[in-house]
Amino acid sequence: MSRYGPRIAALERRAIRERAALESAENLEPEAATTFVREGAGRAIWLYVEGRTGGRMVRFSPPELTALERAMNAWLECYARCHGVDLEAEFTVREAAELLVQTRNVDDVAQLLTGVPPRDGG
């Protein structure tokens, strides 16, 4: 287990609680989607980026990576649900991190991964 193990476990617990709470919510605000991305998925993605940069390459254990991805995907599902879309997210934290490095914007990462909301065709 890496030194990130406790932080990953806390992120996963919080993400699962928030997704469960959202499942029973009736009035979802699209504005809440931003919070799920910035305070949730973004933190999970950034933890991965932090561990992979800065001179020391952290080797996340398979259970840590699974937990980190489960947390990130739970928040991306919450994000999509706020936009009225049911999504079963199965993204890797690596692909999300690569998009974050390219776009430098976690909101763009969520939109690019989920396709929610759809981009204008013109």
Number of domains in the chain: 1
Inside any domain, residue 20: yes
Whole-number Å distance between alpha carbons of 83 and 1: 36
Residue 97 covered by a domain? yes
Segment 53-73 shows an average pLDDT of 91
Q: What is the dihedral of CA 93, 94, 95, 97, to 10 degrees?
A: 80
Q: What is the mean pLDDT of residues 81-98?
A: 95
- Is residue 121 included in any domain, yes or no? no
Q: Residue 119: inside a domain, yes or no?
A: no
Residue 66 lies in a domain: yes
State the DSSP H helix or E strand holding residue 60, giving kind and residue range, or none if neither.
Answer: none
Average pLDDT over every residue of 73-102: 96
pLDDT of 122 strictly over 60? no
Nearest residue to 88 (alpha-carbon basis) of 97, 103, 78, 77: 77
CA atoms of 85 and 27, how far apart (whole Å) = 13
Rounded mean pLDDT of the chain? 92
pLDDT 10s digits, 95-111: 999 999 999 999 999 99
Report DSSP letters for 15-35, one per residue.
HHHHHHHHHT-SS--HHHHHH
The answer to whether residue 45 is domain-embedded is yes
Range of the domain at 43: 5-114
- Predicted TM-score (pTM) of the model is 0.93
- Tell me whether residue 25 is in a domain: yes
Domain for residue 35, yes or no?
Answer: yes
> Residue 83 carries which DSSP code?
T
Position 118 scores a pLDDT of 86
- Does the structure show a pLDDT above 70 at 11? yes
